[in-house]
Amino acid sequence: MPANLPPQYFEAEKTFRQAKSPGEKIAALEDMLAIMPKHKGTDHLRAELRGRIARLTQQLSKRSGAQRSSMAIEREGAAQVAIVGLPNSGKSQLIASITNASPTIAEYPLTTHNATPGMMEFEDIKIQLIDTPPLAPQIIQWWLPPILRRADALLVMIDLSEEPLAQIKEIMAQLEKTRVKIGERGDTNETEEVVMWHKKAIIAGNKCDLDKDNKNYKKLFKGYENRFPIIAISAKDGTGLEELKLKIYRTLDIIRVYTKTPGQKADLADPIILPRGNTLQDAAASVHKDFAAKLKYARIWGSGKHDGIMAKRDHVLADGDIIELHL
Ligand SMILES: Nc1nc2c(ncn2[C@@H]2O[C@H](COP(=O)(O)OP(=O)(O)OP(=O)(O)O)[C@@H](O)[C@H]2O)c(=O)[nH]1
Ligand SMILES: [Mg+2]
């Protein structure tokens, strides 16, 4: 056992020992992996946990049925955003309106029982959205928390045909049970005893077509504008959906960087996606793991720059930059 494992690790290990199904075990192992500090002393243990997760996943993929279909969602596209909300708020309708997926939409609550991914196009990239079952205490299943924890951001759906503040409080309380908190770390000044996953979030006030004089939207905006990007939409009639896509992209805080080979045109079809603040060296590493070490310099084309200007490895990149790596 490497030293310095936090107490939460042993808590997660206990959950693992008590877990019955392979899926539950995977979720606990992923918790252990996420909690474990990353340094040389834990390399071996982390590799072992990953091995166990891989074997269990394989075991599970041999099985048929719902258990498999509703768990891990393969990441696709530039980022992954899970939609969360109370029953009947329009989560599935939104997925149907802005992605290629077609989940069941119904007038009655508690329609969705699985997590369904769909790809949303935004300019020249695709972002994966995940429809989830409602955050109702009686139906949160073991496989939902890992999906929420793994997502890059959460889209919180509020139903504007009803009082919004009670909804958001309820959603936050349910999320907390899955050890997920939305908003920036340090937003609230509590000291945390258990490990929480902090997620960037955007709030969408849906059904704005039913919100007379924007009464509920105004309430929502006043209450949360300091903490989250907020937008009024109608997933059904399409109001605000283009702006929502842009806000989702901005919330993710990612940039697109295009690569080019000397003497050729840039590859504009397939940008590298990087967190904002990343440098040339990070971009090189994401092209190929050996490139970061080999990188001598790069030339950059982009807004606010001289075309083809030479830059060093610690140069911070901007959205839309074109880079030519010289090794
Ligand atoms: N008027 C109006 N109705 C909407 C809008 N979006 C969704 N609805 C309706 O709200 C109801 C619920 O929509 P769903 O997409 O199934 O809601 P959900 O959040 O996925 O519900 P659960 O899966 O039960 O959590 C359906 O009758 C939709 O047609 C909207 O923007 N305006
Ligand atoms: Mg649904």
User: Mean pLDDT highest for which of 83-87, 136-140, 141-145, 187-191?
Assistant: 83-87
C-alpha–C-alpha distance, residues 289 and 48, integer Å: 22
Give the number of the ligand closest to the Cα of residue 93: 1
Atom of ligand 1 nearest to the CA of 206: 31
pTM score, two decimals?
0.84
pLDDT of residue 194 exceeding 70, the answer is no
Predicted confidence at residue 20, as pLDDT, reads 83
Torsion of CA 112, 207, 97, 108, to 10 degrees: 30
pLDDT attached to residue 68: 47
Q: Ligand 2 centre from 141 Cα, in Å?
A: 15
**What is the tens place of the pLDDT at every residue in 63-101?**
655 454 446 688 899 999 999 999 999 999 999 999 999
- Inter-axis angle of helices 241-252 and 91-98, nearest 10: 90
Give yes or no for a contact between 299 and 308, defined as CB atoms under 8 angstroms apart. Answer: yes
pLDDT at position 12 is 85
What gap in Å lies between CA 171 and CA 169, rounded to an integer?
A: 5
> Has residue 21 got a pLDDT over 50?
yes
- pLDDT-derived band at 191, boundaries 50, 70, 90: low
CATH architecture of 254-326: Roll (3.10)
Mean pLDDT of the chain: 89
Residue 87 CA, ligand 2 centroid: distance in Å? 7
Asked if residues 22 and 56 have their Cβ atoms less than 8 Å apart, the reply is yes
Domain borders along the chain are 7-65, 70-252, 254-326
Say if residue 207's pLDDT is above 90: yes
Higher pLDDT, 220 or 109: 220
Calculate how far, in angstroms, residue 175's C-alpha sits from the geometric centre of ligand 2. 17
> Looking at ligand 1, which atom is closest to the CA of residue 237?
31
For the record, the structure tokens of 28 come out as 């606990």
pLDDT in tens, 5-17: 888 888 889 989 9
Mutation choice for ligand 1 from 105, 139, 237, 244, CB with most ligand atoms inside 8 A: 105
For residues 262-289, b (16+ Cβ closer than 10 Å) or e, as one string? eeeeeeeeebbbbeeebbbbbbbbbeee
* CATH class of the 70-252 domain in this structure: alpha beta
Residues having CB closer than 6 A to ligand 1 are 85, 87-93, 105-107, 109-112, 134, 206-207, 209-210, 234-236
Confidence (pLDDT) at 185: 65
From 88, 113, 114, 155, the mutation candidate for ligand 1 (largest count of ligand atoms within 8 A of CB) is: 88
**Which residue is closest in CA terms to ligand 1's atom 27?**
107
The pLDDT score that the predictor gives to residue 183 is 85
Lowest mean pLDDT among 150-164, 193-207, 247-261: 193-207
Asked whether residue 229 carries a pLDDT value surpassing 60, the answer given is yes
Q: How large a percentage of the chain has pLDDT more than 70?
A: 93
| Cα of 274 from ligand 2 centre, angstroms | 31
Confidence label for 188 from pLDDT (cuts 50, 70 and 90): low
pLDDT at site 192: 56
Tens of pLDDT, residues 143-155: 888 899 889 999 9
